[in-house]
């Protein structure tokens, strides 16, 4: 088994994009074992909005928005001329009915359980559609439910993979089989069979899990950019492609916030020396970026990583005592409870500051809990700017027009928290 392909939401946003996916898969089918697919473009955002309405108790509105989301997928099905196959439509409709039924009848009030259940339908819908489309176009494949393959612990969000059990199941069901498989990114299931999620944008990680378990040679992640760029073109006009980067440097960049690679993707690939290619589905003839063991090119091109709309929280004790390790441990327990992702931290004798973002919970609930024991100050909508392998003169112009709240520097990296 040689290759696994992963396609993100932008690459399947409409019928034209899915036909482009078909061409890429068709031209590479000889050595292709598995295709991992994300939710259709922006679907996860819409499902998150449905989840937010649902947990607020606005069930009717959540159901109405769900039906709108389903209608968009039905429109795609019509555009792809997939309305004639009864078994396919039954499969798709059963998933749609499952979501609506869940919103109407669910009794489990665990918000993380509800989140994972609701948002998982984006990947389920997209893969059912793509699997059937490829089949009628002559690319024979089998749809697989990732929840029956990737086994996780019982936590519902960013759930940890049970590697031993997952590898056993994946090898039993997928290894030594000459079929092409289509499966979902982002989702898995716990020991009770309940849906879990691997973290936002976690489909890259899913592809890495499959590759690790199947001893695949190469993973190709198809993006809307020509490879790994040294800066996000949404924010910076001048960008360069990094043609080759080591696992170590890729891991550093993903940890610092580079959006092209999911932070958990690298480790399972590096552990088995599996090559990762980042290529453009818009320009599939371009070679893109190769991630492997080679460290010779690391640091030749400086990188800029820009994270807007972060939250800066500064915590101190109420009695002016030092901030000790036990305090920091308590802070991180609270951060974990509220899904707060820390991107930068800094401490002094009396103060501990973190910059990050929270996804599924209210920042006000987090702050209120901290304020019961500590003095808390916070700034919303600050920006985090990271310069990796920076050089003299390698400073974005807009840095000069913003107030610097925190600055950190090391041998290879400078980081700024900026006030808008």
pLDDT tens figures, 136-194 = 999 999 999 999 999 999 889 989 999 999 999 999 999 877 899 999 999 999 999 99
Whether residue 292 has pLDDT greater than 90: yes
Question: Which of the two residues, 203 and 259, has the higher pLDDT score?
Answer: 203
The pairs formed by 238-245 with CB atoms below 8 angstroms and a separation of 24 or more are: 240/301, 241/288, 241/289, 242/289, 242/297, 242/301, 242/303, 243/287, 243/289, 243/290, 243/297, 244/289, 244/290, 244/291, 244/292, 244/294, 244/296, 244/297, 245/289, 245/290, 245/291, 245/297, 245/298
Given a contact cutoff of 8 angstroms between Cβ atoms, the answer to whether 199 and 44 are in contact is: no
Say if 168 falls within a structural domain.
yes
- Together in a domain, 26 and 136: yes
Q: Does residue 201 carry a pLDDT above 80? A: no
Tokens of 350: 């009396």
pLDDT value of residue 235: 84
> In which band, very low, low, confident or very high, does the pLDDT at 300 lie, cut at 50, 70 and 90?
confident
What pLDDT is stored for residue 257 in this prediction?
78
Q: What is the pLDDT of residue 382?
A: 95
Q: From 419, 405, 33, 13, select the one nearest 216 (Cα to Cα).
A: 33
Q: Is the same domain home to 409 and 313?
A: yes
Q: Does residue 129 belong to any structural domain of this protein? A: yes
CATH code of the domain containing 378: 3.30.2130.10
| Residue closest to 220 by CA, chosen among 286, 144, 264, 312 | 286
% of the chain surpassing 90 pLDDT: 77
Predicted local confidence at residue 133, as pLDDT = 98
**Average pLDDT in the 223-230 region?**
90
297 pLDDT band, cuts 50/70/90, is confident
pLDDT mean over 381-406: 81
Note whether residue 233 is domain-resident. Answer: no
- Specify the pLDDT at position 239: 87
Q: What is the mean pLDDT of residues 213-224?
A: 95
pLDDT of residue 390: 78
State yes or no: pLDDT of 368 exceeds 70: yes
Domain assignment present for 201? yes
% of the chain at pLDDT higher than 70:
97
Last residue of a domain, one of 189, 207, 223: 223
Q: Backbone dihedral region of 60: left (phi > 0), alpha (psi from -120 to 50 degrees) or beta?
A: alpha
Residue ending a domain, choose from 223, 244, 268:
223
How confident is the model over 209-218, as a mean pLDDT? 97
Mean pLDDT of 248-274: 88
Is 359's pLDDT higher than 70? no
Mean pLDDT of 233-259: 87
pLDDT-derived band of residue 395, with 50, 70 and 90 as boundaries?
Answer: low
Q: Return the pLDDT at 258.
A: 78
pLDDT of residue 245: 93
Instruction: Report if residue 170 sits inside a domain.
Output: yes
Instruction: Give the HSE-up count for residue 186: Cα atoms under 13 Å, Cβ half-sphere.
Output: 23
User: How confident is residue 236, by pLDDT bands cut at 50, 70 and 90?
Assistant: confident
Query: Residue 309: which domain range?
Result: 303-419
Domain boundary among 175, 207, 223: 223
- Give me the chain's average pLDDT, please: 92
Give per-residue pLDDT as tens, 78-96. Answer: 999 999 899 999 999 999 9
Domain total for the chain? 2
What is the structure's pLDDT at 398?
Answer: 67
Higher-pLDDT residue of 363, 49: 49
> Residue 204: inside a domain, yes or no?
yes
> Are residues 202 and 55 part of one domain?
yes
- Any idea what DSSP says for residue 385? E
217 and 319 in a common domain = no
Are residues 44 and 167 located together in one domain of the fold?
yes
Read off the pLDDT band of 125 (50, 70, 90): very high
Q: Which of 100, 198, 187, 200 is nearest to 144 (CA)?
A: 187
């Amino acid at each position: 088994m040689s290759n696994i392909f992963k396609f993100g939401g932008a690459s399947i946003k409409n019928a034209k994009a899915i036909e482009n996916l078909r061409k890429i898969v068709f031209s590479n089918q000889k050595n292709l074992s598995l295709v991992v697919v994300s939710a259709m473009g922006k679907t996860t955002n819409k499902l998150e909005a449905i989840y937010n309405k649902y947990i607020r108790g606005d069930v009717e509105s959540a159901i109405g928005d769900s039906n709108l989301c389903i209608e968009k997928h039905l429109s795609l099905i019509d555009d792809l001329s997939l309305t004639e196959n009864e078994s396919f439509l039954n499969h798709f409709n059963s998933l749609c009915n499952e979501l609506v039924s869940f919103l109407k009848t669910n009794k489990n009030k665990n918000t993380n359980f509800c989140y994972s259940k609701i948002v998982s339908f984006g990947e389920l819908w997209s893969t059912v559609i793509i699997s059937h489309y490829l089949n009628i176009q002559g690319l024979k494949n089998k749809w697989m439910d990732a929840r029956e393959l990737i086994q996780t612990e019982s936590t519902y969000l960013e759930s940890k993979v049970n590697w031993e059990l997952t590898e056993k199941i994946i090898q039993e069901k997928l290894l030594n089989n000459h079929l092409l498989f289509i499966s979902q990114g982002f989702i898995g299931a716990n020991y009770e069979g309940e849906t879990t999620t691997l973290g936002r944008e976690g489909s890259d990680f899913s592809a890495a899990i499959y590759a690790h378990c199947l001893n695949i040679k190469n993973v190709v992640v198809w993006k809307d950019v020509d490879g790994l760029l040294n800066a996000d073109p949404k924010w910076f006009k001048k960008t360069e492609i990094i043609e080759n980067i080591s696992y170590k440097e890729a891991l550093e960049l993903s940890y610092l916030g580079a959006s092209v690679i999911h932070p958990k993707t690298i480790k399972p690939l590096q552990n088995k020396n599996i090559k990762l290619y980042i290529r453009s589905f818009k320009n599939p003839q371009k070679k893109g970026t190769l991630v492997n063991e080679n460290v010779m090119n690391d640091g030749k091109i400086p990188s800029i990583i820009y994270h807007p709309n972060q939250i800066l929280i500064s915590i101190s004790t109420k009695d002016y005592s030092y901030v000790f390790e036990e305090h920091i441990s308590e802070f991180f327990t609270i951060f974990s409870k509220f899904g707060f992702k820390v991107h930068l931290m800094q401490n002094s004798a009396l103060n501990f500051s973190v910059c990050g973002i929270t996804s599924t919970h209210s920042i006000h609930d987090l702050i209120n809990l901290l304020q019961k024991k500590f003095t808390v100050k916070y700034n919303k909508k600050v920006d985090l700017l990271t310069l990796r392998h920076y050089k003299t003169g390698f400073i974005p112009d807009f840095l000069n027009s913003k107030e610097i709240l925190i600055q950190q520097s090391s041998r290879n990296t400078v980081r700024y928290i900026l006030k808008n």
